[in-house]
Chain A
Amino acid sequence: MNLWGAIACVALISFTFKAAGPALLGDRELPRSARGVIALLAPVLLAGLLIVDVAGPRWTGLDWALLAGLATVAVAYLRRVPMILSIAAGMVVTALVRLAFG
């Protein structure tokens, strides 16, 4: 199999994963307990994505400049700074920390 075959396989797998739940479950009303689990999937997966993205494989991607930037983003957003401006502030801090200590 070559690169094009690999791309086709990954595309097919992604399609199947995304289609499985909607196609198989349809509009069946899930029990309350299942809905309780689903309601928690968003915070759980977002927290997991954040950790995995920041830590990298075996925690080899940890970058203090990035952490400083993310802390800035969180503080700004919690102080009701708009989303885009919060991220811009985080980018500036990340870039400055790298400039100073990189």
Chain B
Amino acid sequence: MDANPSADIDDVSPRLRFLAGVKVGVGLASAAFVLAVTFGALARAEGWGVLAPIVCSLVVFSGSAQFALAAALAGGGGIPTAIMAAALINGRFIPMGVAVAGDLRGGRFRRALEGQTVVDGSWASAHLGDGRFDRWKLFGATAVQWPAWVAGTALGVLVAPPEKLVEALGLDLVFPAFFLLLLIDELRRSRMARVAAGLGASIAAGLVFVVPAGLALVGASVAALLGLRGGDSGGGEAS
């Protein structure tokens, strides 16, 4: 990969970069669709009714936060606790938003809106290395995931497939599998990426014993501070 990864993509039209995002987004959207079906079914079973789960997917658009909200409400922790759980889970979007900030365009309001396209899979697939991001690929990947997420939720609410069926078909593997594949691509970039990922995984593995998942993720992100040492942290040794 080039020392300046964003220099390469400047030669590619926004349309092609958007389509590249759509291409990777289709796979991510398939995973999101399956997960959304299970969210819709869970929310319906917990008495959310028909409309609330669909609106939730439309305006929150975050599987981890929505599952945290539903699980905390079902656990009887009360609404403030449920909101806190969802907020902690989504705390990772702060550093992820900081990461893409320099590659977005326009004034503050437009940048804030463009920042809404940051979801885990799109963000990771739009990473060019060296901390730079392809915003059009980010947009394309998210453009297919959002409707898939909402449609999956609607299907889950209406059909409400039993959780056992999802597990029997191995469908619950789809989402972590996508994280794994995106991680493998990142690990191929540099030795520093492999060291940082190992450290982050270890921190998350330890923290998830004692704190909620969201806090464990925020804690794991401390491993990225290895990047302060400089050197090749993401741009070299591309596969």
* A residues near B112, Cβ cutoff 8 Å: 18-19, 22-23
On whether the beta carbons of A27 and B233 are closer than 8 Å, the reply is: no
Interface residues on A, range: 35 or more
* Residue with the highest number of chain A CB atoms closer than 10 Å, among B108, B168, B192, B227: B227
* A residues near B93, Cβ cutoff 8 Å: 14, 17-18
* A residues near B170, Cβ cutoff 8 Å: 65, 69, 90-95, 98
On whether the beta carbons of B108 and A21 are closer than 8 Å, the reply is: no
Q: Does B155 contact A (CB under 8 A)?
A: no
* B residues near A30, Cβ cutoff 8 Å: 102, 131
Report B23-42 CB contacts with A as 1/0, cut-off 8 Å.
Answer: 00001001100000000000
From B109, B197, B230, give the contact of A43 (CB < 8 A). Answer: B197
On whether the beta carbons of A32 and B83 are closer than 8 Å, the reply is: no
Q: Does A101 contact B (CB under 8 A)?
A: no
From B79, B86, B171, give the contact of A1 (CB < 8 A). Answer: B79
On whether the beta carbons of A14 and B61 are closer than 8 Å, the reply is: yes
Q: Does B148 contact A (CB under 8 A)?
A: no
Kindly count the residue-residue contacts between A and B in the assembled complex, taking CB atoms under 8 Å apart.
301
Tell me what chain B mostly uses at the interface: helix, strand, loop, or mixed: helix
From B113, B203, B227, give the contact of A39 (CB < 8 A). Answer: B227
On whether the beta carbons of A35 and B130 are closer than 8 Å, the reply is: yes
Report A75-102 CB contacts with B as 1/0, cut-off 8 Å.
Answer: 0011000011011001111110011001
Q: B residues engaging A (CB < 8 A)?
A: 27, 30-31, 48, 52, 55-56, 59-62, 65-66, 69, 73, 79-80, 82-83, 86-87, 90-102, 104-105, 108-109, 111-116, 118, 120, 123-124, 127, 129-131, 167-184, 186-187, 189, 192-194, 196-201, 203-205, 208-210, 212-213, 216-217, 220-221, 223-231, 233-235
